[in-house]
């Protein structure tokens, strides 16, 4: 049995959950990951995956119609698994199910509409009129009303289960790989330049709803030269550093996205892991994957 996992954007952290599902299922089935990439690249943390990937370009409509046809033609699994309630994963999955009669599983780990709703009423109106974006608000809204057409549904947390039903499938991690006892903490700290220091670590994509600004404000209030804040997962290192207050810049270390293979090493060096999630429409349907890493 072959499973085709549809990822709505292979260049973002959307690949995280899709990759996790692919790795778990690959122990029992033939698995492939299929999807478009808005930047044309593969999300760095999943760049070393051994799972076969079929990557396609991205464009606005009407250009995306041709890309979508190519994706549909490339899906050759016996079972389709759409990761996230998005038009370029679940929407394409629905089309393939209709044309091939192959079973479709939907996995939901975010309330996608929440990412649009944080902008307020007038912001929603503007976004609802964005018909050229294949993953724009009107299409995402439509996806939420088509959940019942999936043959099976899995969700990552209780909030989403109450909203959409389905089987609970939390984020999971291999605790043997993440075991900090696999590493010499002192050696890792020495190589990172933190000999004799304590490390406060934020690991993940530093977006506003993840409380990164709150973390920087709180860290500024801690006057301890032996405590360093390490932020791993930024897109542009210099751009992020420009946001950091000059008074704490010498104690804040910023690192770009790192492959998952290197994650356990860095986690072992952390004395405290912080997950300062804000309660907004963006985050209300989330349980951060980093909570399981920690």
Q: What are phi and psi of 168, to 5 degrees?
A: -80, 120
CA-nearest of 9, 89, 18, 66 to 42 is 9
Give CA–CA dist 16/119, Å, rounded.
Answer: 25
Domain count, the chain: 2
3-state secondary structure of 206: coil
Q: Is the sign of the CA dihedral 112, 117, 119, 122 positive or negative?
A: positive
Residues comprising the chain, all counted: 294
Tens of pLDDT, residue by residue over 166-186, are 999 988 777 787 787 888 999
- Mean predicted confidence (pLDDT) in 37-41: 95
Letter string b/e over residues 1-21, b meaning 16 or more CB atoms within 10 A of that residue's CB: eebbbbbbbbbbbbbbbbbbb
Strands ordered across the beta sheet of 272-273: 252-256, 227-234, 198-203, 272-273
User: Are residues 191 and 162 part of one domain?
Assistant: no
User: Are residues 164 and 199 part of one domain?
Assistant: no
User: Is pLDDT above 50 for 294?
Assistant: no
Give CA–CA dist 183/206, Å, rounded.
Answer: 26
- Mean predicted confidence (pLDDT) in 1-26: 95
User: Are residues 190 and 70 part of one domain?
Assistant: no
User: Are residues 120 and 65 part of one domain?
Assistant: yes
* Percent of the chain scoring above 70 in pLDDT: 92
Q: Among all chains, which residue has been given the structure tokens 């209300």?
A: 284
The pLDDT assigned to 122 comes to 59
Q: Among all chains, which residue has been given the structure tokens 């999971």?
A: 172
Q: What are residue 54's DSSP bridge partners?
A: 34
The pLDDT assigned to 30 comes to 98
- Mean predicted confidence (pLDDT) in 251-275: 88
User: Are residues 184 and 40 part of one domain?
Assistant: no
User: Is pLDDT above 90 for 261?
Assistant: no
Q: Which two tokens stand for residue 131?
A: 């018909």
Give CA–CA dist 99/181, Å, rounded.
Answer: 51
Range of the domain at 11: 2-168
Q: Among all chains, which residue has been given the structure tokens 């999807």?
A: 35
User: Is pLDDT above 80 for 250?
Assistant: yes
Tens of pLDDT, residue by residue over 62-95, are 999 999 999 999 999 999 999 999 999 999 999 9
* Side-chain-side CA neighbours of residue 7 (13 Å): 31
The pLDDT assigned to 237 comes to 86
**Last residue in a domain, options 116, 150, 168:** 168
- Mean predicted confidence (pLDDT) in 144-160: 95
**Last residue in a domain, options 168, 200, 226:** 168
Tens of pLDDT, residue by residue over 113-138, are 888 776 666 566 767 778 899 999 99
Which CATH number belongs to the domain containing residue 181 in this structure?
3.40.50.2000
- Mean predicted confidence (pLDDT) in 246-268: 88
**Last residue in a domain, options 133, 168, 203:** 168
User: Are residues 244 and 202 part of one domain?
Assistant: yes
Q: What are phi and psi of 36, to 5 degrees?
A: -90, 160
User: Are residues 161 and 215 part of one domain?
Assistant: no
For the CA atoms of 281, 8, 293, 183, the dihedral, rounded to the nearest 10 degrees, stands at -150
User: Are residues 154 and 9 part of one domain?
Assistant: yes
> Angle at CA 113, nearest 5°, toward 110 and 114?
75
User: Are residues 143 and 16 part of one domain?
Assistant: yes
Contact 81, 139 (CB under 8 A): no
Distances (CA, A) of 14 to 99, 247, 253: 26, 35, 25
User: Are residues 201 and 163 part of one domain?
Assistant: no
Host H or E run for residue 122: helix 120-128
Give CA–CA dist 61/184, Å, rounded.
Answer: 52
User: Are residues 270 and 222 part of one domain?
Assistant: yes
The pLDDT assigned to 238 comes to 85
User: Are residues 288 and 198 part of one domain?
Assistant: yes
The pLDDT assigned to 98 comes to 97
Predicted confidence band at 289 (pLDDT cuts at 50, 70, 90)? low
Predicted confidence band at 280 (pLDDT cuts at 50, 70, 90)? low
């Amino acid at each position: 049995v072959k499973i085709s996992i549809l990822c709505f954007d292979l260049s973002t952290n959307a690949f995280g959950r899709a990759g996790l599902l692919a790795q778990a299922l690959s122990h029992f089935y033939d698995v492939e990951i299929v999807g478009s990439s808005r930047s044309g690249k593969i999300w760095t943390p999943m760049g070393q995956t051994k799972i076969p990937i079929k990557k396609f370009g991205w464009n606005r409509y009407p250009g995306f119609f041709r890309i979508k046809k190519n994706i549909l033609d490339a899906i050759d699994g016996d079972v389709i698994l759409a990761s996230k309630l998005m038009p370029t994963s679940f929407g394409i999955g629905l089309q393939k199910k209709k044309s091939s009669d192959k079973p479709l599983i939907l996995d939901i780990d975010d309330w996608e509409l929440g990412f649009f709703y944080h902008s307020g009423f007038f912001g929603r109106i503007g976004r609802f009129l964005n018909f050229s974006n294949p993953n724009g608000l009107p299409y995402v809204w439509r996806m939420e009303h088509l959940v019942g057409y999936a043959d099976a549904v899995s969700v990552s947390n209780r909030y989403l289960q109450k909203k959409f039903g389905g089987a609970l499938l939390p984020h999971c991690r291999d605790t043997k790989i993440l075991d900090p006892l696999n590493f010499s903490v002192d050696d890792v700290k020495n190589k990172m330049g933190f000999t004799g220091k304590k490390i406060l670590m934020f690991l993940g994509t530093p977006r506003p709803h993840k409380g990164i600004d709150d973390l920087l404000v709180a860290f500024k209030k801690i006057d301890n030269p032996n405590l360093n804040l390490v932020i791993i997962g930024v897109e542009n290192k210099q751009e992020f550093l420009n946001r950091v207050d000059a008074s704490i810049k010498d104690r804040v270390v910023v690192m770009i996205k790192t492959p998952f293979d290197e994650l356990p090493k860095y986690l072992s060096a952390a004395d405290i892991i912080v997950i300062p999630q804000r309660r907004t429409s963006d985050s209300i349907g989330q349980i951060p994957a980093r909570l399981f890493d920690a």
